[in-house]
Amino acid sequence: MTTKAKSANTATPQHPDSDHWLVRPATVRLLWIVFSILLALSVLADFFVEHHPKFGIEGTFGFAAWYGLITCIAMVLFAKLLGIFLKREDTYYDD
């Protein structure tokens, strides 16, 4: 066996996804910018939509955006609280 063949066999294999386009810092930054712009445009589109609120607060500017954010935060906090009560030891299923 030649030294060239030995070095090829002993080299550490590179992970196939190590340079995936979604994990590159430039791509992540670009995606944050694009999605932030899209979010801002969707909230600003609220100016051009005629609302038919069923209750008073529903007619406020950006209701769907801030209501969705508050609801998401509440669900995460509820899940964390629920996790406190449902948590089991690491060895729960061991004999």
Instruction: Note the pLDDT tens digit of each residue in 18-30.
Output: 688 888 999 999 9
pLDDT of residue 21: 86
pLDDT of residue 12: 54
Higher pLDDT, 10 or 65: 65
Assigned token pair, 87: 């948590």
Query: Does residue 91 sit within a domain?
Result: no
Query: Does residue 32 sit within a domain?
Result: yes
Query: Does residue 15 sit within a domain?
Result: no
Query: Does residue 76 sit within a domain?
Result: yes
- Please report which confidence band the pLDDT of residue 74 belongs to, taking 50, 70 and 90 as the band edges: very high
pLDDT of residue 13: 55
Asked if 58 and 80 sit in the same domain, the reply is yes
Is the distance from CB of 59 to CB of 53 less than 8 angstroms? yes
Is the pLDDT at 92 greater than 90? The verdict is no
Determine the structural domain holding residue 75 and report its residue range: 53-86
Asked if 37 and 59 sit in the same domain, the reply is no
pLDDT of residue 40: 94
Query: Does residue 67 sit within a domain?
Result: yes
- Backbone dihedral angles phi then psi of residue 34, each to the nearest 5 degrees: -65, -45
Rounded CA gap, 27 and 54, in Å?
Answer: 42
Is the pLDDT at 34 greater than 70? The verdict is yes
Domain count, the chain: 2
Query: Does residue 35 sit within a domain?
Result: yes
pTM surpassing 0.75?
A: no
Asked if 30 and 43 sit in the same domain, the reply is yes
Asked if 65 and 78 sit in the same domain, the reply is yes
Query: Does residue 73 sit within a domain?
Result: yes
Asked if 57 and 80 sit in the same domain, the reply is yes
Mean pLDDT of 1-14: 54
